[in-house]
Amino acid sequence: MRAFLAVDVNKELLEKIGEVQNKLAKAEAAVKFVEPENLHFTFKFFGDISREKADEIVGMISEKTKKYSPFEVSIKGVGVFPHLGYIRVLWLGVEDSDQFSKMQMDFDEEFIKMGFKKERSYIPHLTIGRVKGAQNKEALVSIINELETVEIGKTTIKNLVLKESELTPAGPIYTDVKEFQL
């Protein structure tokens, strides 16, 4: 199965996130926006794994999450990967993300022991769209600049979710495999 570990988005923030996506859509650029039901913070992408490996991951996460408590972060500001000169991903940033980053690094150490690659420097973010071409790039950059300090709101990180990702021509379908409370 193709799997990843995620933090779901607080449902109360979906409307504001949708407003940001709608503003970005006005650029009429070649952007595929993430559907509201698919919005999440990716904590770790595993790729294709066996059911046995998934069980091993579930066991480790079940133990590791016991040492963490829920914490609050602010979602704020539109950013891009890799850079404004060549935009592939549109995202919303996470403010007050120290605990998020520390927790991810702590988990990543365990994932490395399990044979997964080390994450490059982790930047907590919420992917809201993927750019498919250079059409109307200047208009898109202009709107991104207007939204670089937009405030979406606060959310409490209280669980992690192991998700299965099925790629289809219509887009990915995510299925929750197991939820872990902090």
Residue ranges per structural domain of the chain: 2-181
Residue tagged active-site, from 68, 125, 140, 163 = 125
| CATH placement of domain 2-181 | 3.90.1140.10
Q: What is the 3-state secondary structure (H, E, C) of 46-83?
A: EEECCHHHHHHHHHHHHHHHHHCCCEEEEEEEEEEEEE
129: nearest Cα among 49, 29, 61: 29
Burial of 108 by CB count in 10 Å (0-12 exposed, 13-18 middle, 19+ buried)? middle
Q: What is the pLDDT of residues 31-44, one digit of tens each?
A: 999 999 999 999 99
Q: Per the structure block, which two tokens stand in for 28?
A: 């009429």
125 is a catalytic site residue: yes
Q: How far apart are CA 81 and CA 88, in angstroms?
A: 6
Residue tagged active-site, from 4, 21, 27, 40 = 40
83 is a catalytic site residue: no
Helices 14-25 and 137-146, axial angle in degrees (round to 10): 140
Q: What is the pLDDT of residues 58-115, one digit of tens each?
A: 999 999 999 999 999 999 999 999 999 999 999 999 998 899 999 999 999 999 999 9
Asked if residue 122 has pLDDT above 90, the reply is no
37: nearest Cα among 172, 159, 166, 153: 172
pTM, full prediction = 0.91
pLDDT band at 181 (very low <50, low <70, confident <90, very high): very high
Q: How far apart are CA 92 and CA 37, in angstroms?
A: 16
pLDDT band at 180 (very low <50, low <70, confident <90, very high): very high
| pLDDT (0 to 100) of residue 94 | 94
pLDDT above 70 coverage of the chain, percent: 100
